[in-house]
Amino acid sequence: MPPVFQADTGAFPAFKTPYYIVDETLLQKNLEILKSVMDRTGCKTLLAQKAFSMYALYPLIGQYLSGTAASGLHEAKLGFEEMVRAHSNQLNTPLENHVFSAAYREDEFDEIAHICDHIIFNSFSQLEKYKAAALSAGKKIGLRINPECSTQGHAVYDPCAKGSRLGVTRANFREDLLSGVSGLHFHTLCEQNADALIKTLTAVEEKFGQYLPQMEWVNFGGGHHITREDYDVDALIRTINIFKAKYRAEVYLEPGEAVALNTGFLVSTVLDIVDNGIKIAILDASAACHMPDVLEMPYRPLVLGSGFPNTKKYNYRLTGPTCLAGDIIGDYSFDQPLSVGDRLIFSDMAIYSMVKNNTFNGINLPAIAIAKADGSPELVKSFGYEDFKRRLS
What pLDDT is stored for residue 2 in this prediction? Answer: 53
* Beta strands at 367-371 and 377-381: parallel, antiparallel or unpaired: antiparallel
What pLDDT is stored for residue 156 in this prediction? Answer: 83
3-state SS assignment for residue 184 = strand
Q: Using alpha carbons only, what angle is made at residue 143 by residues 225 and 110, rounded to the nearest 5 degrees?
A: 105
Q: 186, 221 in Cβ contact below 8 A?
A: yes
Question: Which of 277, 163, 253 shows the shortest CA–CA distance to 200?
Answer: 253
C-alpha distance from residue 270 to each of 265, 280, 316, 390 (Å): 16, 10, 11, 29
Give the H or E element holding residue 270.
strand 264-275
CB atoms within 10 A of CB 230: 6
Rounded to whole angstroms, the Cα distance separating 28 from 100 reads: 27
Q: What is the largest CA-CA distance in the chain?
A: 68
What pLDDT is stored for residue 1 in this prediction? Answer: 45
Q: Tell me phi and psi for residue 89, to 5 degrees.
A: -70, -10
Rounded to whole angstroms, the Cα distance separating 321 from 327 reads: 8
C-alpha distance from residue 308 to each of 42, 184, 283, 334, 340 (Å): 43, 44, 18, 9, 21
Enumerate the β-bridge partners of residue 253.
45
3-state SS assignment for residue 334 = strand
Eight-state DSSP code of residue 221 = -
3-state SS assignment for residue 331 = strand
What pLDDT is stored for residue 249 in this prediction? Answer: 97
Amino acid at 376: S
Q: Tell me phi and psi for residue 201, to 5 degrees.
A: -60, -35
Q: 24, 370 in Cβ contact below 8 A?
A: yes
Enumerate the β-bridge partners of residue 1.
none
What pLDDT is stored for residue 195 in this prediction? Answer: 96
Please report, in tens digits, the pLDDT of each residue of the chain (393 residues total).
456 677 776 789 999 999 999 999 999 999 999 999 999 999 999 999 999 999 999 999 999 999 999 999 999 999 999 999 877 666 667 899 999 999 999 999 999 999 999 999 999 999 999 999 999 999 999 999 999 999 987 778 899 999 999 999 999 999 999 999 999 999 999 999 999 999 999 999 999 999 999 999 999 999 999 999 999 999 999 999 999 999 999 999 999 999 999 999 999 999 999 999 999 999 999 999 999 999 988 889 999 999 999 999 999 999 999 999 999 999 999 999 999 999 999 999 999 999 999 999 999 999 999 999 998 999 999 999 999 999 999
